Structure 1
């Protein structure tokens, strides 16, 4: 009986729409992202119309409105990525490479996140999602940090291009030397950045790293336009939420518990009457 009632109540569902926005937090803004989502959700629960008017949302419908954020699980670094990091580590004592190692390690530890917007009215719900995303990215501190980061990336590209020219010149001179003196490649060593001795094979790898870092910085310049980059702004989709959740166990257990409680109280009453009688 309890199971049947539980199943019946579980069929009472609340239909809502959902929009998923896949984002990538820039400049260590992950904690900020979670904090601002909690802030918006708190204002939804308190029905703070003043807050929502301040971000451009008039006559907001709070019915079924909700916002959540979760990290999207990603597979670990590929084998090629790991080899790349190992190669970077072999140059970690050189000033030109240390920043590249740090940036790569930070990149490997970053994740995409999914912001989910729940609502009942499609038109106002989509507008709500758009306004909240705009609000998330309207942060003066991170805007200033983005300007600094872009300038740093441009400076890094210029520095790497200068180093690349030097490396090409060293390789050219070494090749000319090798042709004239017939030296053995494996025994030839040069000093890199006046700190680290590396052989010519490592120098070629160093050149490839500089090229790869220049390419990465150019991509970074294209990506870092907002504190939280929008990877995909999804379309509205229907989602259903059971009135009593997904489990069928709660209602039967509740009814059974109430039955045993009632029976126990009834037993105590009879026991008391027999003793007093």
Structure 2
């Protein structure tokens, strides 16, 4: 680059900066005014655009996962159709923007629940990333806990609304009949396991007495054939099964069991940025208009 070219470049840069600062000086008052107006408008518009989210954690029981998801889809379609009669009948009396449902990722708990679940995850993970498998719909729909999300524009949802919604989700006649049968079967299983445990305890007690009195003709037989260990293992497995069945009974009082809920949580939205966005928008429009008029 020659010295003349360097001088010309310097003149261009200097002229550009001079024009820029002159423009700022000539329009400073208007730009300041637009910035203040934009910030004030953004401040007052932000609360109008606020959203609140209510979250309900539920456990679908008795094979009701697909039923639950379909019911949430139905409610969401009613929201889009603005069917206030239906929505009011199920407790959603407040203006609802959207309702959705998603599984709560608990792949480790899912694996621990049964050997079948472990084998299922292992099978799915053979050809892919375990994290993708955990989030896949085929896997995640089998998680115990799911989260219903309800979006409102105001802090209007209360306990009564949630109770009515849960009542609606739990009034399916078919699954309530399934519930009765399975509860009856589980109770019978608990009683049967308890009787077997008592029988095993009697055998073990007799064996301990015979060993203590040195009159057990079956001592060698037990040791050689591991029958004593088998009995103890069977007893422990039955105890674990009963604990699981009792816990399932507690968690399965409804076909859709609500475990907890959190109401009217203000979303972390971008509306707070409007106090910056609006001034920037107004200034941009002003600059564009000025450039057009200048031409």
**For the residues of structure 1 that align with 2:197 and 2:157, how far apart are their CA atoms?**
53
- Tell whether 2:51 aligns with 1:16: yes
Asked if 2 retains the 8 angstrom alpha-carbon contact of 1:27 and 1:145, the reply is yes
Q: Which has the larger radius of gyration?
A: 2
Partner of 1:239: 267
CA deviation vs aligned residue, 1:193-213 (integer Å, no higher than 9, x gap): xxxxx6211210111111122
**TM-score normalised to structure 2 length:** 0.59
Asked if 2 retains the 8 angstrom alpha-carbon contact of 1:20 and 1:117, the reply is yes
- Tell whether 2:181 aligns with 1:148: yes
CA displacement at 1:39 relative to structure 2: 0.4
Secondary structure, aligned partner of 2:74: helix
**For the residues of structure 1 that align with 2:81 and 2:158, how far apart are their CA atoms?**
18
Asked if 2 retains the 8 angstrom alpha-carbon contact of 1:119 and 1:125, the reply is no
Secondary structure, aligned partner of 1:66: strand
**For the residues of structure 2 that align with 1:127 and 1:120, how far apart are their CA atoms?**
18
CA deviation vs aligned residue, 1:88-114 (integer Å, no higher than 9, x gap): xxxxxxxxxxxxxxxxxxxxx532111
Q: Which has the higher strand share?
A: 1
Asked if 1 retains the 8 angstrom alpha-carbon contact of 2:197 and 2:235, the reply is yes
**For the residues of structure 2 that align with 1:223 and 1:152, how far apart are their CA atoms?**
16
**For the residues of structure 2 that align with 1:147 and 1:236, how far apart are their CA atoms?**
35
CA deviation vs aligned residue, 1:235-274 (integer Å, no higher than 9, x gap): 321014448xxxxxxxxxxxxxxxxxxxxxxxxxxxxxxx
Correspondence 1:109-128 to 2 at 5 A: 110-124=143-157, 128=161
**TM-score normalised to structure 1 length:** 0.62
Q: Aligned pairs, how many?
A: 212
CA displacement at 1:124 relative to structure 2: 4.7
CA displacement at 1:35 relative to structure 2: 0.4
Partner of 1:187: 223
**For the residues of structure 1 that align with 2:174 and 2:235, how far apart are their CA atoms?**
36
**For the residues of structure 2 that align with 1:172 and 1:188, how far apart are their CA atoms?**
20
Asked if 1 retains the 8 angstrom alpha-carbon contact of 2:104 and 2:147, the reply is yes
Structure 1, unmatched stretches of 5+, are 1-7, 87-108, 190-197, 244-277
CA displacement at 1:126 relative to structure 2: 6.0
Secondary structure, aligned partner of 1:15: coil
Q: Which has the higher helix share?
A: 2
